[in-house]
Chains A and B, each alone.
Chain A
Amino acid sequence: MKYVDEFRDPAAARALAARIADEVDPARRYAFMEFCGGHTHALCRFGLEDLLPPNIRMVHGPGCPVCVLPVGRLDLAVELVTSRPEVILATYGDMMRVPGSGGVSLLTAKSRGGDVRMIYSTAQAVELARDNPEREVVLFAIGFETTTPPTAAAVKAADAAGLKNFSVLCNHVLTPAAIDAIMTTGSAESRARLDGFVGPGHVSTIIGAEAYEDAARKWEKPIVISGFEPNDLLNAIHLLVRQTNAGEARVDNAFARAVRPGGNAAAQALCDEVFALRDAFEWRGLGTIPESALKLAPAYEGFDAELKFDLQYASRPDHKACACAEILRGEKTPVECAVFETACAPEHPLGSCMVSPEGACAAYYLYGRFRDAAPRLAAAE
């Protein structure tokens, strides 16, 4: 795979790792948050943490749309598709197995007769609406800025085709707001512990490198935008070490081959037209964050499933023992959570970090728990 394999070259990875090892200050500790779940997944899947010096800790951030979607929002979709036989709920595969209230997932809803269809592209949802004029097709839209333009394109296409039986249950969320939330919640001590961020690569193809300037300035933390291949990540960590050592707090675009300073203007314009900012939105694990999510703009309200079906959101708190909030802020590691691997595991997640393979706890459970599980479980006995 061109532009993939070159960035997975093991020899270059070792050279980058050596460079990082040369430049870290052995007298200090570094903590960098990779905001994006895709980065978390890549770090764990490629075993990259083994290549980093022991005084660099990667904190797995909240950038996984499946993880941060509150259970109450999923419940809306489950209730909609099980209570209204005319509804076809179109959703990405990621959401199918996530348990809502009472452990009921969209897969469960499907087994109970709900018409849930897995799609790979939003265009398929519009086709469903066209092919089933007597039904109501609802796109269960999730995702950060990367996934938002395809939803906007679907709304525009449905509008152009005059499809009245298409609507969107919109859960699109915004990255800069989440970075702010990480920095404004939790203790001052935990904020000070974070030395910088690996910025999301694919989100940035849409919003651009410039979108992080405010955050870097405001929080005085370096942000390095990175691609998703192992050498991209190692390089980004290298640049973060450099900035940290020099006391700098700049935005570096280390994914410049795909990310432009201003992002994708056409996609931004489309989203600005179709969506409007919500006053506030609940994030699983992080709480309610002002101006952190999108809804349909007034001109497209006819496509808003929440209005069309009069859906009322109710917040459903996570399990009390769940330490997701602390884990997402880097105050705790997954193994420091009391329910990790016992009451909370990928097949029965209690909190957001265990919900998707990109979540901090699930990634650790699936890829990393051989590292310290033995001593920890021995201690628990």
Chain B
Amino acid sequence: MCLALPAEVVALDGDTATVNLDGVEAPVSLAFLEGVGVGDFVVVHVGYALSRVDPEIASEQIAAMKGDAAADVAAAYGES
């Protein structure tokens, strides 16, 4: 219901970041997130960053999906 995408922070200017999504750059407000740095990926919705993508959890999920044992996928995803 809410269109949002993970995009990489490439520049910071106070409360505003510039994010890059495959070559498309857009300004994003960081009003709801603290401690965001260049290189972080944030979930962007209507010009605001909603949350930071946790790179460790993401890579666990991706690794589990690439492995043969699909059972691991559920385990990696399911842990909250």
Q: Identify the A interface with B (CB < 8 A).
A: 1-4, 6-7, 9, 12, 15-16, 18-19, 36-38, 63-65, 92, 120-123, 143-144, 146-147, 149-150, 153, 200, 202-203, 205-206, 209, 228, 231, 235-236, 238-239, 242, 251-254, 256-261, 264, 266-267, 270, 358
Contact = CB atoms under 8 A, between A and B. Distances in A.
A236 B51 CA distance: 20
A354 B41 CA distance: 34
Given A12-B66, A37-B1, A144-B2, A267 B50 contact: yes
A2 B6 contact: yes
Contacts of A2: 6, 8, 41
Interface string B51-80: 111100110011001101011011001111
B37 interface: no
Contact of A205 (B51, B66, B73): B51
B31 interface: yes
Nearest to A261: B80
Contacts of A202: 1-2, 4, 43, 45, 50
B58 to A, nearest CB: 4
Query: Looking at chain B, what size class is its interface with the partner chain?
Result: 35 or more
A38 B73 contact: no
A287 to B, nearest CB: 19
Contact of A256 (B32, B41, B77): B77
Given A1-B22, A266-B34, A258 B54 contact: yes
A261 B80 CA distance: 7
Contact of A150 (B3, B47, B70): B47
A2 B5 CA distance: 10
Contacts of B8: 2
Given A3-B58, A358-B1, A264 B80 contact: no
Contacts of A65: 1
Nearest to B3: A38
> What are the 7 A-B residue pairs with the smallest beta carbon separation, nearest first?
A121-B47, A253-B80, A146-B2, A12-B65, A205-B51, A267-B32, A3-B6
Contacts of B80: 209, 251-253, 256, 261
B21 interface: yes
A143 B2 contact: yes
A147 B51 contact: no
Contacts of A15: 65, 68, 70, 73
Contacts of A3: 6, 41, 53, 58
Nearest to A6: B62
